[in-house]
Structure 1
Amino acid sequence: MTLPSETRDFHQTGANRRPSPSQPSVAILLCTFNGARFLAEQIDSILMQTHTNWVIHASDDGSCDSTVKLLEAYQKSVGPDRLRLYQGPQLGFAQNFISLIKNNSIEADYFAFSDQDDIWHPTKLEKGLKKLQKIDHSNPALYCTRVRLIDTEQRCVGFSPLRKNTPSFENALVQSLAGANTMLINQSARTLMAAIPDNTPVVAHDWLAYLLVTASAGQVIYDSTPSLDYRQHEGNLIGNRTGLSANFHRIKRFVTGDFSIWNDMNSEILDSMLGYMPTQNHTLFSDFKALRTAGLVKRTRLFFKVGLYRQGPLENLLLILALVFKKI
């Protein structure tokens, strides 16, 4: 398969950008599933990054469209040293990403998650690396950003919610902070994520990254400036709804008990990672588990002791309602 004609010139420009050995290395973890429609634009935006020392590790989860042929065409063009292909476990998007995180053959200084249908801004990697390189490598660290929302024609239709509250374990226990497609993590954070037990159910890899980094007293940097265009279309596995639609789905997740189920899954993972937590966070997590099953009075007391919070007034109102109706 040849590259799409409309992206060939753009792609050739990016393909000529060879990596600089003086730059820190980045493993870009790209997971695909029937994503041929927009995949070329995603890869082209990676090729045009101002930071050039990267390798794309693409794991396809059993696509039946032309996704694999497109990946193979790009690999032939840029070389297998720049684009490596893997077969995913076919257990859903989260487990596909986890399979790359756990793959010991993938080595780098930093790791970035990539969806199959976004458009990265040219300085995405460069800006994140400038922030993370200031942090001690032994300390787990995560950089994430807001996103600009676009439609199928690349028209801006809004932005993801602005996170105004400080990132913390108290927030991570009840909410993810940003999309994984914006995230860049260091080697210590990758080691944490790779340490979760095999075949453990994962709600989402972005929430997992935020949860584990904060649980281990690592550092999270949230940048309010968008780093990519996040495409909204009917094929999104996880969308980024705004307005009334977003509010409806948030309320629905609390009412149906999805939120509680997700906390069950996250708690199971954290139980296996207690050795990575400082004493303060170990105690906080124990209190969080206790409040989930306690009576209303004790539940309320533990809630305020732990200091749980979500990002935004409506989100915190829903959290209070979840507390009252034992849905946390």
Structure 2
Amino acid sequence: MPAITRDMSKTVTILMGVLNGARWLHPQLNSIAEQDHEAWVIRFSDDGSTDLSADIIAGFSEKHPDRVHRGTGPKSGFGDNYMQLIRDLPKQAGYTAFADQDDIWIRDKLGRAVAALARSGEKPALYCGRRWLWYPKMDRRIKSPQPSREFGFRNALIENVAAGNTVMLNPAAARLARQAARMITKPVFAHDWWLYQLITGAGGKVVFDHGPPCILYRQHSANAVGAGHGIAVQIRRKTDVLKGNFARRIKQNLAVLDQIKPLLTEESLRDLRRFELARNAALHQRLLLLNVSEVSAYGSK
């Protein structure tokens, strides 16, 4: 069994948005409390729960005094709730992880992420990894796909490969995220996709954990954004494209990126301009511009 980590210089701040999660909070919070990396604090943002979520969080706080901060969300969706948590990070934010209310963490999740980021240097870095897609009624587990292309801003423009419930930011990335979140006034589609775009666009890097999945990602009808697998999921995603949902999400992402352009590198700004031109061009010009900018996706998510 790995040694328990008590190095408080590597304290991880865990951000958890909550909305009517009483059915699932106990096992998730227990899995956090049992992490082999013991240096953690958790900041909750309850977005208007009407169940027993607040009571469960209060009970957890009593068991772990001085580790829990309880806040109230903006009541405008899960993306806004997490963005508020990012804005409210301390000015000198350290390692920062994101948790869903309904998952279960493998015991070494935090320790693996901190160890990987500790080797990443001083530049902003975002850690993420694989998940077990978990169907609890049958206890069926399916590994999420391995990425097959290089991470980067060009890829981040058209897809998200950083699953939010696996994400951890190193201190430089956490401070950058706090700064950027305070610059934007428009809603993000998803905080994890936004973080992937921000960190890569600002010249940071992604550290992907190719080891065993680090969480049980609970699959149920109340998932805010589910993963799923198989042909039904592929059909749904293709239908989203045909309905224009994907295009609307891209448009929303671009509107937010426009507000944080001062934080992007010159190379990222060039890629962003080419991408925007390609979206508005005629089909033959669009294909040419996309080829020039080498924007690509690997379709595993």
TM-score normalized with structure 1 length = 0.86
Name the structure 1 match of 2:216: 229
2:108 pairs with 1:123 = yes
Deviation, 1:153, is: 3.6
Match of 1:113 in 2: 98
The answer to whether the aligner puts 1:184 opposite 2:171 as a matched pair is no
Report the counterpart of residue 263 of structure 1 in structure 2: 250
In the alignment, is the contact (CA less than 8 A) between 2:184 and 2:256 conserved in 1? no
Does the residue aligned with 1:117 lie in a helix, a strand or coil? coil
Aligned to 1:142: 126
Larger radius of gyration: 1
Per-residue deviation at 1:207?
0.4
Q: 1:154 to 1:68 in 2, by over 3 A?
A: farther
Greater relative contact order (CA < 8 Å, ≥ 6 in sequence): 2
Query: What are the within-5 Å matches in structure 2 for residues 57-76 of structure 1?
Result: 57-76=43-62
SS for the counterpart of 1:113 is strand
Q: How is 1:35-74 mapped onto 2 (pairs within 5 angstroms)?
A: 35-74=21-60
Task: Tell me whether 1:101 sits opposite 2:86 in the alignment.
Answer: yes
Distance in 1 between residues matched to 2:117 and 2:5, nearest whole Å: 19
Who is 1:291 aligned against? Answer: 278
1:222 corresponds to which letter in structure 2? F
Does residue 277 (structure 1) correspond to residue 264 (structure 2)? The answer is yes
Say if 2:151 is the partner of 1:164. Answer: no
Residue aligned with 2:10, SS: coil
> Does the 8 Å contact 2:93/2:175 carry over to 1?
no
The alignment's C-alpha RMSD in Å is: 1.9
Aligned residue for 1:254, secondary structure, equals helix
- Of 163, 172, 177, 1:193 maps to 177
Note closer, same or farther for the CA distance 1:249–1:106 as it changes in structure 2 (3 Å cut): farther
User: In the alignment, does 2:180 pair up with 1:205?
Assistant: no
Unaligned segments of structure 2, at least 5 residues:
none
Task: Note the C-alpha offset of 1:51.
Answer: 0.7
- Once the two structures are TM-superposed, the CA of residue 278 in structure 1 deviates from its matched residue by 1.9
**Count of residues in correspondence between the two structures:** 296
State the alpha-carbon separation in 2 of the partners of residues 185 and 136 from structure 1.
12
The one-letter amino acid paired with 2:263 is Y
Distance 2:134 2:47 in 1: 25
What is the aligned partner in structure 2 of residue 240 from structure 1?
A: 227
SS at match of 1:251: helix
Tell me how far apart the structure 2 counterparts of residues 149 and 245 of structure 1 sit (CA, whole Å). Answer: 15
Given that residues 93 and 174 in structure 2 are in contact (C-alpha distance below 8 angstroms), is that contact kept between their aligned partners in structure 1?
no
Amino acid at match of 2:159: Q
TM-score, with structure 2 as normaliser: 0.93
Identity rate, percent = 33
State the secondary structure of the residue aligned to 1:71: helix
> For 1:105-141, what per-residue CA distance to the aligned partner results, in whole angstroms no more than 9, with x for missing partners?
475421000000101011101111111111233x111
Matched to 2:194, the amino acid is L
- Contact between 2:133 and 2:228, CA under 8 Å: does it hold in 1? no
Q: Which moved more, 1:237-246 or 1:274-283?
A: 274-283
Alpha carbons 2:94, 2:174 under 8 Å: kept = no
> Do residues 24 (structure 1) and 10 (structure 2) align?
yes
Deviation of 1:104 after TM superposition, in Å, equals: 4.2
Q: How far apart are 1:156 and its partner, in Å?
A: 2.5
Q: Within 2, Cα distance between the matches of 1:22 and 1:32?
A: 26
TM-superposed CA distance for 1:249, in Å, is 1.4
1:234-270 per-position Cα deviation (integer Å, ceiling 9, x unaligned): 2111111100121011101111111111111111121
**Cα distance, 1:198 vs. partner?**
4.2
Q: Which residue of the other structure, out of 260, 279, 290, is the alignment partner of 1:303?
A: 290
* TM-fit CA distance, 1:48: 0.7
Aligned-residue offset at 1:154: 6.9
1:151 is matched with which residue: 135, 159, 173? 135
Equivalent-residue separation in structure 1 for 2:45 and 2:89 (angstroms):
14
